Amino acid sequence: MKIFVFGMFTSILLCWGANCIAQETQLFPVMKEHLAAQDQNTTGYINKYGRLKIGFKFYYASKFSDGMAAVLVTKNGKWGYVDKTGRMVIAPQFDEASSFADGRARVTKDGRTYYISKTGSKVLETPLLLMGFREGLSLAEMNGKWGFANAEGQIVIPLRFQHANPFSEGLASVVQNGKIGYVNRSGELIITPHFEVMIGFSDPLFLPNFSGGLAVYRAGAFYGYIGRTGEIAIPAAFQRARPFAEGVAAVSSGGRWGYIDRNGKFVIPPEFGQANSFSGGLASVRVRGKWGYIDPTGKVVIPAKFDSAEAFDDGLAEVTIYNETKRTTQRGYINQKGKFVYSWRQ
């Protein structure tokens, strides 16, 4: 059974004539408390105010992506897809089901893997391992070589790389002869592979993408940032470095984490045990073993009391609190004031 991670997406405001109506397009997967039998259907969706919008009628439910969400109706059943009204748009029939992107989703049925449209129709079946579409192209792999394919499954950037990442801001990181470089959508090497690979294939910084016009690079034991032509924008002087987001980047210096601006200057001093990127105006940081949130000035605005703390999106963040006495975990979503809008125990 394929397992999915809870997540979030965006909301918009629709105006019709003189009337403006808030269209709730972001829904969050939630669960009932796991105090009863595990085989019961316990998963539904709330809106950002904590109101249940799709009832507890699924055994498991993934996050919404491209307007659709993969759901498992029963424990040993098949995967299908629902829209934001909770209507089963594509009937449960798949052994595995991935999220939609660019109008397509990868599924497995009766041992065959292929792509479907939002109507459930098969649109592409290929021997290539496709890793999801982004910016119109998908990562493609065969026999240990990586390249990119278009929506028809045609290879448009040859499978000549040792590894590659999806496109971001018009460029994709690739590995050739053990070094990192960047290609554009035409397959041209805009930045010749000469940067050192990151440490560890499981490390999320192994192949850094561009974010805010900059990308992380490694020089020995230190990290810095390059620009879109490969020039050194911020010299490698940090023990760790995360992508830029909302104008700043979380970096580690002297064993502590802080935030720098695009000039490489600290705007929030390195004083945290760990730090993540800003999202929605707040960033999660670890203080004395617990997670809380800071604002762009570095002020802790949500006290560090969580055992895990995800990024904010559309005003909510998923967090957990472990109760050692009861050996239970409280999981749920908090607003930007740090208040739970919905939670459950596991």
pLDDT tens column, 177-190? 999 999 999 999 99
Domain boundaries, position 110: 1-125
Consecutive H or E run containing 158? strand 155-161
- Matching residue, tokens 């802790």: 300
Q: Which residue has the higher pLDDT, 275 or 75?
A: 275
Number of domains the chain is built from? 3
Residues 112 and 158 in one domain: no
Does 77 share its domain with 135? no
The predicted model gives 218-223 an average pLDDT of 94
Which of 21-25, 143-147, 186-190, 342-346 has the least mean pLDDT? Answer: 21-25
73 within some domain: yes
Q: How far apart are CA 231 and CA 197, in angstroms?
A: 17
Render pLDDT for 79-102 as a digit per residue (tens, 0 to 9).
999 999 999 999 999 999 999 988
- Are the beta carbons of 194 and 211 closer than 8 angstroms? no
Tokens of 73: 């109706």
**Which residues contact residue 145 at a Cβ distance below 8 angstroms, ignoring those fewer than 6 apart?**
159, 160, 161, 162
Query: Could you tell me how far CA 19 lies from the centroid of its own chain?
Result: 34
Q: pLDDT tier at 200 (50, 70, 90 boundaries)? A: low
Contact 88, 122 (CB under 8 A): no
CA distance 39 to 129: 33
Strand partners, 188: none
Please indicate, yes or no, whether residues 157 and 94 belong to a single structural domain of this protein.
no
3-state helix, strand, coil split of the chain in percent (to 5) is 0, 55, 45
Are residues 53 and 158 located together in one domain of the fold? Answer: no
Vertex 74: Cα angle to 69 and 76 (nearest 5) = 110
In a domain? residue 302: yes
Residues 221, 274 share a domain? no
What Å distances lie between residue 21 and 18, 24, 34, 181, 313, CA to CA?
A: 10, 9, 36, 46, 21
Residue that terminates a domain, selected from 66, 100, 125: 125
Q: How many residues does the chain have?
A: 346
Listed in sequence order, the residues at least 6 apart from 237 whose beta carbon sits closer than 8 Å to its beta carbon are: 222, 224, 253, 264
Q: Count of alpha carbons within 13 Å of 55, Cβ hemisphere only? A: 2
* Domain endpoint, select from 82, 98, 125: 125
Please indicate whether residue 24 or residue 301 has the higher confidence score (pLDDT): 301
119 lies in the same domain as 132: no
The tokens 């998963």 sit on which residue? 43
**169 and 215 belong to one structural domain:** yes
Stretch 257-271: mean pLDDT: 98
Residue environment code for 85-95, b if the CB has 16+ CB neighbours within 10 A, otherwise e: ebeeebebebe
Do 306 and 216 lie in a common domain? no
- Same domain? 226 vs 251: no
Choosing from 125, 156, 187, the residue where a domain stops is 125
Residues 146, 218: one domain? Answer: yes
Is 134 in the same domain as 166? Answer: yes
Q: Quick check: is 239 in a domain?
A: no
Distances in Å between the Cα of 142 and the Cα atoms of 97, 111, 114, 149, 161 are: 21, 18, 15, 12, 11
Is residue 180 in a domain?
yes
In a domain, 56, yes or no: yes
Residue 10 lies in a domain: yes
Same domain, 181 and 147: yes
Using a 10 angstrom Cβ sphere, with 0-12 exposed, 13-18 middle and 19 or more buried, the burial of residue 43 is buried
Domain-located, residue 240: no
The reported pTM is 0.85
pLDDT at 175 over 60: yes
pLDDT reading at 7 higher than 50: no
Report the alpha-carbon distance of residue 260 to residue 258 in Å, rounded: 7
The answer to whether residue 291 is domain-embedded is yes
